[in-house]
Structure 1
Amino acid sequence: MSTNTTPLVGIVMGSDSDWPVMEAAAAALSEFGIPFETDVVSAHRMPAEMIAYGQGAAARGLRVIIAGAGGAAHLPGMLASVTTLPVVGVPVPLKTLDGMDSLLSIVQMPAGVPVATVSIGGARNAGLLAVRMLASGTDGLAAQLAGKLAVFAQELKSQASAKGAALREKAGAAYPLAIMAEQG
C-alpha cells in the first residue's frame, strides 16, 4: 500500500521476550501495508530512553504507539504520560498470574492519561486498532485503509458464515432432532 518508509506505528515492549506475543501486531500492520518500527524500551531498565522514545515519537512521524508489557506493565502508561499520540497497551501474559496483573496495571490509568487496552496477549487486535485509528483520518491513507477494513470485515463475516454452515451440517447429521437456525 504505502511507499512511505517513515514508520507510522511504533511497536515497543519491555523485553525481547515479549516479541512472540507482540509479533501479532506487526503481522496485522503488515497485512494492511502500514510501515512500523519495533524496539525494546523498558520502563524499569531504561527509563530515560523510554521517556525519550515517547517524547520524540510524533516528531519522527509516528501516529500510534503499541506498547506491550508483562508484570507491573508500566510501559504503556508511562509512554502515554509523555506523548500526545494514542497508546494501545497489550498485557503480555507471564507464568505468574497469566497476565491479569498486566491487564489491571494497563487498564487502570489515572484520569488524563488514557491508554487503550486490548485483551491479554491481544497484540493482533492492537495492530488492527492502530489500523482503524489511521483509517479515521481524512488523508489518502485513511481512505485506502477504510476500504481495506471494509474488505477485511466482509472476509471475517464470510469465514464466520462458513463455520456456521459447517456446524449446522455436522450437528444435523449427528443429531436428527436438531433444529437448525434460519440464516438470512
Structure 2
Amino acid sequence: MPEVGIIVGSDSDLPKLKGCFQTLDDFGVLYDVKAYSAHRTPHLVAQWIKNMESDGVKVIIAAAGGAAHLPGVVASHTVLPVIGIPIETQVAGGLDSLLSIVQMPSGIPVATVATGKAGATNAALLAVSILATGNSDYQQKLRNYRHTMQKSIIEKNETLSKQGIYEYIKALEAKK
C-alpha cells in the first residue's frame, strides 16, 4: 500500500519530478502516481484523493505549472498534508506557479517547496519527514541521509585544502 500519493497536472511534468521519485525510492517509501488536471478532469482528481485516503496514504505531493491550481484543489478535498511543487514554466520561470501554490487562503494549507530539481527532491524529503513522525525507521534514514550530506561537504573541503583553489576550480569545471 502506498504511503504517499503523487499527482501532477500533466504527464509532461513527470520528468521534472525524477528527483522526487528517486528520493522516495531511496528511502523505501511506496507511492502512487497519477497525471490528472485540476481543470480538465476535476472529477478524477476528487476520486483519486478519496482512493488515496481509503488506501491509507498519509501525505500527498501535488505538482503543477502555470496557473498551478492542482495543489490547492487537492488540499480542498482532503485533510491530509499536501506538499505543492511549482513546476518551472517558460512564461515566468516558475514564479507564476510558485505564487499560485504559496498564496492559499486561510484554512486550506499547502506546504510549498521550491521550483526545479531542489523542489522535487525537497518535496520527497518533506514527505518522508512527515512519515517519520510515526516511524523510527524513516527517522533513522533521514539522519543517515543528512550525515551523508555532511560527510560529502567535509570531504570536498578537505580536497579543496589539499588541491588549492585554482586546481579545485579546474576540477569542478572539468566535470561540466
Query: TM-score if structure 2 supplies the norm length?
Result: 0.89
Letter in 1 for 2:153: A
- The reply to whether residue 97 of structure 1 matches residue 86 of structure 2 is no
Superposed CA offset, 1:73-103 (max 9, x none): 0000110011011000000111111101000
Report SS of the residue matched to 2:145. helix
Gaps of 5+ in 2: 168-176
Partner of 2:170: none
RMSD across aligned positions (CA): 1.3
Letter in 1 for 2:138: L
Largest Rg, 1 or 2: 1
Partner of 2:132: 135
Partner of 2:159: 166
Distance in 1, Cα, partners of 2:33 & 2:128: 16
Q: How many residues align?
A: 165
Q: 1:156 aligns with which of 149, 153, 161?
A: 149
What are the equivalent positions in structure 2 for 1:1-184 lying under 5 Å apart? 6-121=1-116, 122-137=119-134, 142-171=135-164
- CA pair 87-171 structure 1, distance change in 2 beyond 3 A: same
Contact 1:8 1:36 in 2 (8 A): yes
Distance in 1, Cα, partners of 2:14 & 2:77: 23
What percent of counterpart residues are identical?
44
- CA pair 168-34 structure 1, distance change in 2 beyond 3 A: same
Of Structure 1 and Structure 2, the greater helix share is in: 2
Distance in 2, Cα, partners of 1:55 & 1:7: 14
Consecutive aligned runs of 4 or more in structure 1 exceeding 4 Å deviation: none
Distance in 2, Cα, partners of 1:19 & 1:168: 40
Partner of 2:171: none
- CA pair 170-29 structure 1, distance change in 2 beyond 3 A: same
